[in-house]
């Protein structure tokens, strides 16, 4: 045990730098996936065929392709097409686009779960469709989707480790480098697991609270 803590003191500064990059990648991908997810959800629930079908096709295609393949495509293929991205940008865009398909389904389910009676009441008051969406439907949908949204965020945090395959210097990348140079696999990966838990547990507790607070709604 003493040896483990001695190794931890050596490795933690480097792993914490990678942890910071993990947080940045997760936050960047979260912003992108949330924004795109809202767009896909609104398109899917618009009732307009030429908006609904492209969003349906996109989400199904993205969900059917592994995230690793999407990251490789963005990082290695797009430069051949004239789109040059560094590893961090490719990681954020790849994870953001991949998770936007799942976020879109989360938001769509929330919109569809809104009580139709509230929409009918708003229509009876003469409110326009756009105003009903922003003032009636979305506020209720946000409350409904908070628990599954939180769960998706936790999944995104853990999947940020996949950005290591395109050399993003996040936590698992730093861990592989340390393990390869020191052969301290047990110590290094135990530390990485503990650090991911330190990031995940607050989110898990938040999601649990959201489920208790809003789940019955």
Domain boundaries, the chain: 2-214
Q: What is the pLDDT of residues 188-205, one digit of tens each?
A: 999 999 999 999 999 889
Q: Answer yes or no: is pLDDT of 159 > 70.
A: yes
Contacts of 195 (CB under 8 A, 6+ apart): 15, 16, 19, 171
- Tell me the whole-structure pTM to 2 decimals: 0.90
Question: Model confidence at 8, in pLDDT bands (50, 70, 90)?
Answer: confident
Task: CATH number for 2-214: choose from 1.10.3720.10, 1.10.10.10, 3.40.430.10, 3.40.50.300.
Answer: 1.10.3720.10
- Residue 7: closest CA among 183, 184, 174, 181: 184
Output the pLDDT for position 1: 60
CA gap 155, 134 in Å, rounded: 28
Q: Answer positive or negative: Cα dihedral of 42, 106, 147, 205.
A: negative
Q: What is the pLDDT of residues 120-151, one digit of tens each?
A: 888 887 788 878 888 888 888 888 888 889 89
The mean pLDDT value for 103-117 works out to 90
CA gap 140, 159 in Å, rounded: 29
- Residue 149: closest CA among 111, 115, 102, 113: 102
């Amino acid at each position: 045990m003493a040896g483990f803590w001695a190794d931890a003191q050596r490795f933690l500064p480097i792993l914490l730098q990678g942890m910071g990059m993990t947080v940045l990648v997760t936050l960047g991908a979260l912003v992108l996936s949330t924004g795109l997810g809202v767009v896909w959800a609104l398109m899917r629930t618009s009732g307009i065929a030429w908006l609904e079908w492209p969003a349906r096709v996109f989400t199904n295609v993205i969900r059917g392709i592994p995230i690793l393949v999407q990251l490789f495509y963005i990082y290695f293929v797009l430069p051949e097409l004239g789109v040059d991205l560094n590893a961090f940008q490719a990681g954020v865009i790849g994870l953001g686009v991949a998770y936007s398909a799942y976020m879109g389904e989360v938001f769509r389910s929330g919109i569809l779960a809104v009580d139709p009676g509230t929409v009918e009441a708003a229509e009876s008051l003469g409110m326009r469709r756009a105003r009903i969406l922003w003032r009636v439907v979305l506020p209720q949908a946000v409350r409904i989707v908070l628990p599954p949204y939180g769960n998706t965020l936790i999944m995104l945090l853990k999947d940020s480790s996949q950005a290591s395959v395109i050399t993003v210097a996040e936590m698992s990348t730093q861990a592989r480098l340390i393990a390869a140079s020191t052969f301290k696999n047990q110590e290094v990966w135990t530390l990485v697991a503990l650090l991911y838990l330190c990031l995940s547990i607050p989110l898990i507790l938040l999601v649990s609270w959201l489920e208790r607070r809003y789940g019955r709604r």
